[in-house]
Amino acid sequence: MLLLRCQLKRALPQQVLCGSCAVMGKLQSKLKHSTYKYSRPDGIIEERIQTKAFQEYSPAHVDTVSVVAALNSDLCVSGGKDKAVVVYNWKTGNVVKRFRGHDREITKQIACVPKSNQFFSASRDRTVMMWDLHGSSQPRQQFSGHAMVVTGLAVSPDSSQLCTGSRDNTLLLWDVGTGRCVERASVSRNLVTHLCWVPREPYILQTSEDKTIRLWDSRGLQVAHIFPIKQHIQTYCEVSEDGHKCISCSSGFGGEGCEATLWDLRQTRNRICEYKGHFQTVASCVFLPRALALMPVIATSSHDCNVKIWNQDTGDRIEGNECCATSEAEPSEVLQFHFHPPGMLL
């Protein structure tokens, strides 16, 4: 459904997609070859990949989809330029419920409350709205306080607090129950690109267009640590389930930048490994569930229309079917996925 045909017999991992590439429409139904060419300092590189047939699903949106997140093992939540938030059953291809309330398009951020039917959406209308799958189609709560588009959302482990970030250089901490802003922090030139709450900890990881990765302490909303500054804009971040490691990814073009970086979140907080091989901006990166592979693996998605799987410990691209926990998955479907061009709705 997400144009990621991962036959691992499990639920789709949350956010394994490029925000501007995610498309929920009628999917491909024919075999074809796709050729990609990229200009590199060392010449032209050409990749010729056979794209397999995909099952067709009914469209969830009438315009480009900007974000998809997993709500549970059967349902995902998507937001798009049509201002709608949609709950979709990715197994059956059916729209479960449609929510409306935003005045402008949904940005790339949707946060789901763990083990709950509630989720949040952020929009260019500068607001965040809270929705309930089993409630009204109208928002259950609205959070207004940013001066520009909201580009980051993170829910605390106990679901009592929500942290939001914006291009207005601010982070706001909210009480979910009352909808009241309890803390505000601002850092010059800190144009937030993504937020992620560290499991079982009071810390929030944040990436920014100033090429910086910050770790915030939610108790007072103060910067607890700044990681070494990268050479390119940091577009996305994710924290491992055990809270010991985090991964961020970078913008870039022609193979310069375009990487993901693994960091230690514990005492040293040093860089552990880098994952290089994309040709354009890496828009998203995730830790794949350990049960899906024979080794710890990471997935990255890029504006070059590919999702790639990496050995977390060595930084090597996974080859063959060595990453599969089951032999039923075909190597071509596990190792690399291909999207339609960014922003295209079928």
59 close to 96: Cβ distance less than 8 angstroms: no
pLDDT in 10s for each residue of the chain, 346 residues? 333 333 333 334 444 443 333 334 333 333 344 455 555 555 555 454 555 556 677 788 888 888 888 888 889 999 999 999 999 998 888 899 999 999 999 987 788 887 788 999 999 999 999 999 998 888 999 999 999 999 999 999 999 999 999 999 999 999 998 999 999 999 999 999 999 999 999 999 999 999 999 999 999 999 999 999 999 999 999 999 999 999 999 999 998 999 999 999 987 778 999 999 999 999 999 998 877 667 889 999 999 989 999 999 999 998 655 554 443 433 333 333 334 444 333 2
Q: Domains of the chain, with CATH numbers?
A: 240-345 (2.130.10.10)
Residue 118: alpha-carbon gap to chain centroid: 18
DSSP labels, 102-151:
-SS-EEEEEEE-TTSSEEEEEETTSEEEEEETTS-SS-SEEEE--SS-EE
Round to whole Å and give the CA distance between 175 and 160: 6
Q: What is the pTM of this model?
A: 0.78
Please tell me the predicted confidence (pLDDT) of residue 137.
Answer: 84
